[in-house]
Structure 1
């Protein structure tokens, strides 16, 4: 079996407290957690990509942002891990506010990628310029909120633009 080579990997449920950066073998991990060993997220970088890491900001135990220096335009990555569908709407709105705070660390000319787990399901019908035809069938409340946020902020749900393996519903 071949080795999977990744430059950047977003991690959820890291469960580390506080925020920091550490070396793991030849990789660099930045992480953002809370006061207890629940939730927490991180981004793991290979050696070459870690050399481009300019700055990073722990926004919360569900949102972390980093900035990578690139030749033409800098790259900002916001990694997220949304609460599940049984969370209160107030918590969901706070989550989206944290994403907005993370965007504030980046410049308008930066290329911005928001990656992670939104705990949202979007349907397999295309919403203009937001999602593709490869959703999982039925939109849930969190999916509707994600689509609305993407429409307002000019983002796309890119994993719905490509045919993936069949998923459970």
Structure 2
């Protein structure tokens, strides 16, 4: 991450079950409960780890995180959209989850 000078990298197809973070806190994820497919995560630099206020593993396709980027706070929402071959129900559920994530995102600094 230092080489590319990124502090937050969103990763799709994580394929880890459940939700959580690594012991050192440099990776947070949200995956399927019982199967190793889909999944999203955020890879965090040391600076981003220190600035992390909290995160919300919304679904196996959506994770949000809040950071203290003084003098303001920022929210990051990483998504992994279903393909066009997915069912209408799956696509609709995905967009409903995005709407919920946006509604729950703090809009103030």
TM-score, L = length of structure 1: 0.59
Instruction: Give the distance between the partners of 2:40 and 2:59, measured in 1 at CA.
Output: 9
Identify the structure with bigger relative contact order (alpha carbons < 8 Å, sequence gap 6+). Answer: 2
Greater strand share, structure number: 2
Structure 2 alignment gaps of length 5 or more: none
Quote the residue 2:19 is aligned against: 19
CA-CA distance at 1:23 after TM superposition: 4.6
Quote the residue 1:78 is aligned against: 77
Once the two structures are superposed, residues 119-142 of structure 1 have per-residue CA deviations (whole angstroms, 9 ceiling, x without a partner) of xxxxxxxxxxxxxxxxxxxxxxxx
Structure 1 alignment gaps of length 5 or more: 111-169
Instruction: Give the distance between the partners of 2:75 and 2:49, measured in 1 at CA.
Output: 13
Task: Tell me how large the CA RMSD over aligned residues is.
Answer: 1.6
Quote the residue 1:124 is aligned against: none
Quote the residue 1:5 is aligned against: 5
CA-CA distance at 1:109 after TM superposition: 2.4
TM-score, L = length of structure 2: 0.89
Query: Helix, strand or coil for the counterpart of 1:104?
Result: helix
1:49 aligns with 2:48: yes
Instruction: Give the distance between the partners of 1:101 and 1:56, measured in 2 at CA.
Output: 14
1:90 aligns with 2:86: no
Runs of 4+ in 1 over 6 A off after TM superposition: none
